[in-house]
Amino acid sequence: MENNFYQFPDDFWWGSASSAVQSEGFGDTGKGKSNWDYWYEKEPNRFFNEVGPQKTCDFLTNYKEDIKRMKQIGLKSFRTSISWSRLIPDGVGAVSQQAVEFYQSLLDELIANDIKPFICLFHFDMPFCIQEKGGLESKEFVEAYVNYAKVCFNLFSDKVYNWFTFNEPIVPVEGGYLYDFHYPNVVDFKRAATAAYHTQLASAKAISEFKKLNLKSRIGIILNLTPTYPRSQNPYDVEAAKIADLFFNRSFVDPSVKGTYPKELIDLLKAHHQLPLYNEEELNIIKENTAQILGVNYYMPRRVKSRINAVNENSPFMPEWFFDNYEMPGRKFNPYRGWEIYEKGIYDLLINLKENYHNIDCYIAENGMGVENEERFIQDGKVIDDYRITFLKDHLRYLNKAICEGVNVRGYHMWTFIDNWSFCNAYKNRYGFFRLDLETQQRTIKKSGEFFKDIIENNGFYDK
Ligand code: BGP
């Protein structure tokens, strides 16, 4: 078969993503305890091999060398987050000077190496003292978060290229209030809806503060969009998929990009007495302060079918009252993470943004493949991760198609640069372009890292 060259636009943001909790380590900057530090202390057994958030690639001390590695493979941009509990150990009030110096120096180092800093303010971690006051469920969270965001804008705005208020805001809602995979391990839909609403409000208020500063940089939000496919075109299946999409995608993408919640979602929650408390003034803030740029994390699709059994009314209200999850026979599957691999999903979600979300400027903020026991694939000291190269190419072909069809997608960041700690999964699955030896802290480039370097150098790649 003849090879095609997949050409990407000039100034495409070829990059990689990470987050503070997953890479920095606790360090000695006087960081306060976060919700993750607390949960690990309390229930270490909830973490793979009982490895907690203190055991990382220690980016806090290795960042200069790691940025050299980024430069070595030619990254144009890098996204990480600021640790709120490092910057403001008590959640509100005094700012840690050591933390300020670290983040200033990190940003300077990226800029000096021609790597655009993308900074996210919230990647699942908050100071534990804010969590104790009710966390996402409380209005105190909203005010404390907005104060923290303002501190960050004032301190770092001259150095940051793109800002993001939250990473995957639905995940702490699902994990913490519905499905028991994040602290505080509550199962209660109305509380989940409240947490989601407060997150959206906090995001909009931070955007409002940002706009007052008239900066050159832009601000947005990063959402994990999971294109939702019905098992079949049977109207029951189609309706099930529509409802799943309302819960898991439109609940955040609509207010973030359009400034309004879908009426169907409001009606459904109202009918089941699950709406959070809200007021017109807050809804107006959400309406007026939408994202200027959207980051999209894409890992897997969602497939659903209509429910086969009646709902047990004496069980907690759940999105699954309206659909069953569906495993498509023959699906491509990553058994280590338990996620379907469906490359076309990246194209479908981007076309949806083009057609239904005014073709907002966006970029792929995360995409990647976690694999267990990668040491199996080491040859002459290097992980030969051909599976990751295939995964990457398969997604980039569809990304390229979306670009050719006019989607405003500005970049692609792979998760992640150096193998890092995963929330709960710790080091079970490895994702990086560089392998981390946890004991020696040594980093070694994988074959995929070298392949990504070639892509960046050529601003595209040859393939079938
Ligand atoms: C996303 C998160 C990342 C990262 C990634 C991989 O949801 O934004 O923080 O962890 O998923 O998932 P995991 O680490 O759970 O395998």
Cis? peptide before 117, omega within 30° of 0: no
Note if 280 is an active site residue. Answer: no
Q: Which of these, 171, 161, 55, 230, lies nearest to 413 by C-alpha position?
A: 161
Which residues form the pocket of ligand 1, taking CB atoms under 6 Å from any ligand atom?
Answer: 19, 22, 167-168, 171, 224, 297, 337, 366, 370, 415, 422-423, 425, 429
Catalytically annotated residue among 109, 137, 282, 366: 366
Q: How far apart are CA 89 and CA 31, in angstroms?
A: 5
Tokens found for residue 380? 């002459």
Between the CA of 341 and the centroid of ligand 1 the distance, in Å, is: 15
What ligand 1 atom has the least distance to the C-alpha of 424? 15
Question: CB within 8 A of 5, min separation 6: which ones?
Answer: 460, 461, 462
The amino acid that residue 53 corresponds to is: P
Between the CA of 399 and the centroid of ligand 1 the distance, in Å, is: 20
Note if 281 is an active site residue. Answer: no
Cβ-count burial of 188 within 10 angstroms (0-12 exposed, 13-18 middle, 19+ buried)? middle
The amino acid that residue 174 corresponds to is: E
Q: How far apart are CA 127 and CA 89, in angstroms?
A: 7
Q: Atom 6, ligand 1: which residue's CA is nearest? A: 422
Catalytically annotated residue among 24, 109, 137, 168: 168
How many other β-carbons are positioned within 10 Å of the β-carbon of residue 190? Answer: 18
Q: Atom 4, ligand 1: which residue's CA is nearest? A: 422
Residue with tokens 């004496």: 314
Q: pTM score, two decimals? A: 0.98
Between the CA of 422 and the centroid of ligand 1 the distance, in Å, is: 6
Is the CB of residue 423 less than 8 Å from the CB of residue 29? no
What ligand 1 atom has the least distance to the C-alpha of 224? 7
Q: Give the 3-state secondary structure of residue 408.
A: coil
Q: Given this model, what pLDDT does residue 1 score?
A: 59
Q: Atom 2, ligand 1: which residue's CA is nearest? A: 168
Mutation choice for ligand 1 from 174, 366, 429, CB with most ligand atoms inside 8 A: 366
Q: Atom 12, ligand 1: which residue's CA is nearest? A: 422
Q: Give the 3-state secondary structure of residue 129.
A: helix
Between the CA of 395 and the centroid of ligand 1 the distance, in Å, is: 17
Give the chain's residues under pLDDT 50: none
Between the CA of 297 and the centroid of ligand 1 the distance, in Å, is: 9
